[in-house]
Amino acid sequence: MKNFNRIVTRELSVVFRSQSEFVYPLAFFIMVTSMFPLAVTPEPAQLAFIAPGVIWVAALLSLLLSLNAFYQSDFQDGSLEQMLLAGVSGSLIILAKAFANWIVTGLPLVLIAPIIGVLLNLELQANMIAMLALLIGTPSLCLIGAIGINLTVGLRNGGVLLTLLVLPLFIPILIFGASAVEAASIGKNYSGQLAILAAILILSLMLAPFAAAAAMKISID
């Protein structure tokens, strides 16, 4: 547990020293979502109709963008293998890095989503549900993304492969996340979708660290 805190602290101090690299995914999220009213239509009713999908697709892609910054340098400069050789288990390293990844990328998305919701004319209720769904959904994205990035981090052009590997696994989260917001915006019951998102989070918390740690060891070999 101590080592978990240490790795998280270290990740965050690296982020603090190189903000630009880590602010980029958030900037991407804001840019993409704010362009939809300009590109599709400024009509409020139609904007509210596409808003859940837009928010979720943008969140998913910006998290995908953030993965490289968190895993690439540790792999290349040898600090990953040094942590393993200090007896820290691979899954603990993954858990700590995914947590740091979520703090830096996921949490700001959750916090900024209501503003984007207002921009896209989401009602208050749907807006709050969008925030809640992102809060439950984005940690799973970070954890599942960790599996993909650890498999591809040693490859020269791993970017495309990462997308191909990870996006299919992101789809359920996308579907249930967006549909929770949609249900809330037309006044239907949305608890089922949120429960499934929570179930996915628990499942990925339990399994993803082990899968990603195994992937990491293959990449280091």
Partner 1 sequence: MELISSEFNSDNLIEITNLTVIRSDFPVFSPVNFSLGAGQAMQIRGTNGAGKTTLLRAICGLCHSLEGEISWNDEVITPAHQNFYQSLLYIGHALGLKPKLTIEQNLSFFQQLRFELDSQLIQEAMQAFGIAELYDEYVAKLSAGQKRRVSLCRIITEPVPLWILDEPLVALDVDGQQWMLDICNQHLERGGILLITSHQPINGIHNLRELTLS
CA atoms within 13 A on the CB side of 127: 15
Q: How many residues bind partner 1 (CB under 8 A)?
A: 26
Binding mask 92-121 vs partner 1 (x if CB under 8 A, - otherwise)? Answer: ------------------------------
User: With binding defined as CB under 8 A, does residue 6 bind partner 1?
Assistant: yes
CB of 93: closest distance to partner 1 in angstroms? 10
Choose one: 3-11, 116-124, 170-178, 182-190; the region binding partner 1 (CB under 8 A). Answer: 3-11
User: With binding defined as CB under 8 A, does residue 8 bind partner 1?
Assistant: no
Cα gap 51→129, rounded to integer Å: 12
User: With binding defined as CB under 8 A, does residue 24 bind partner 1?
Assistant: no
Of positions 38, 39, 86, 156, contacts partner 1 by CB under 8 A: 86
186, burial (CB in 10 Å: exposed 0-12, middle 13-18, buried 19+): exposed
Cα gap 117→178, rounded to integer Å: 13
Comparison of 10 and 159: residue with beta carbon closer to partner 1: 10
Cα gap 74→94, rounded to integer Å: 12
Of positions 82, 118, 125, 171, contacts partner 1 by CB under 8 A: 82
Cα gap 42→114, rounded to integer Å: 18
User: With binding defined as CB under 8 A, does residue 19 bind partner 1?
Assistant: no
Of positions 85, 156, 168, 189, contacts partner 1 by CB under 8 A: 85
User: With binding defined as CB under 8 A, does residue 46 bind partner 1?
Assistant: no
User: With binding defined as CB under 8 A, does residue 14 bind partner 1?
Assistant: yes
Q: For binding to partner 1 (CB under 8 A), which residues are involved?
A: 2-3, 6, 10, 13-14, 17-18, 73, 76-79, 81-89, 217-218, 220-221
